[in-house]
Amino acid sequence: MPDRDLFKAKLDEMGVHASESLGQHFLIEDSYINTLASHVVRGATVVEIGSGPGNLTEALASKAGHVVGIEIDKKFQPFLEEVQRQHKNVQIVYGDALKTNLSRFKPLLGEMQIVASLPFHITEPFLEQLTSLPIEGATLILGDEVTHEVQQTPDSLNFGKLSLLAQTFFDINIAASIPRQAFFPQPRTDANIVNFHTKSKKEISRSRSNAIFARLFRTARKNSPIINEIKQAVVDFGTGGTTLGKQEFHQKNRSTVRRELKAMLQTGDYTGNSQHSKRDGVVLSQSHALDLIGRMGLPEDLLRRPFSTLDNQDIRQLTTAVRAHFG
């Protein structure tokens, strides 16, 4: 009996059916399960997102020092309890992975890895969650469409916020392809095992454009204007991307730079003209921000909007301008 029939019979026996609303498609072919498990560092703590009936959990447990399975669907509890009886290094947590503080599972010593087979609709928020975790990286099963999206360049219509997020915070490697027939239920597309190697803060800060994008993602909930966050990223970076030299820029008081930006936002002048305004009795220079804005060529309405409101077309425009200006 093929693996698919065995797996279906196992679910039917327990009266369990995969949930379409939760995007449940379980990897059932042993060869691909073993390929995925081969990416686990022996002895590491592995956090598995979406343990389901536990067939992948078992493979991870045979190599990892400790496995923490996060499962939102309690109907799989009988399966996972059996896995726990056979593998004492498995812990199961029932809940939504997007609402779970995954960092609490990091061991005092050793490495923590993330392994997940993600529904499309949670890929972006889950990657956002990964950017703040103390991990070296994650191994994810992604559908073909999502895999292609995280690799796109801004000149492609498929480039969007997910593409920018992935490329800003991770080095991406496609480790293996998985045919749709290896899953139950069978999804619409084939899939891939994708390694996301986390870039350190130091690595991100080496690129001025990545430093800007990282700040935009990390401050998205503030709903402040994009120009505000770009300006602060430039200040934090230190070289400024302005007409000032590095030493002169460092000598300039940061509070003064922030006041100048505030004045620029109040006047609404992004034309690149060298103007000065007097606010609260202080003569304010707009040269740094105006030079930056003028050379990037971004429209005023985009710059005034919060990053969280941008659609994929806006993201492509912003990404192209920032990368062209900062490299």
Q: Which of 160, 167, 147 is nearest to 210 (CA)?
A: 167
Considering only the top CATH level, what class is 3-199?
alpha beta
Q: What is the pLDDT of residues 46-61, one digit of tens each?
A: 999 999 999 999 999 9
Least confident of 20-24, 58-62, 163-167, 253-257: 253-257
The pLDDT confidence band at residue 233, using thresholds 50, 70 and 90, is confident
Residue intervals in the chain for CATH 3.40.50.150: 3-199
DSSP calls for 155-174? TSTT--HHHHHHHHHEEEEE
Give, in order, the Cα–Cα distances in Å from 146 to each of 17, 83, 110, 138. 25, 31, 31, 15
- Position 204 scores a pLDDT of 93
- Position 19 scores a pLDDT of 81
- Asked if residue 216 has pLDDT above 70, the reply is yes
Q: What is the mean pLDDT of residues 300-311?
A: 95
Q: What is the pLDDT of residues 148-184, one digit of tens each?
A: 999 999 999 999 999 999 999 999 999 999 999 999 9
pTM of the model: 0.81
- Asked if residue 66 has pLDDT above 90, the reply is yes
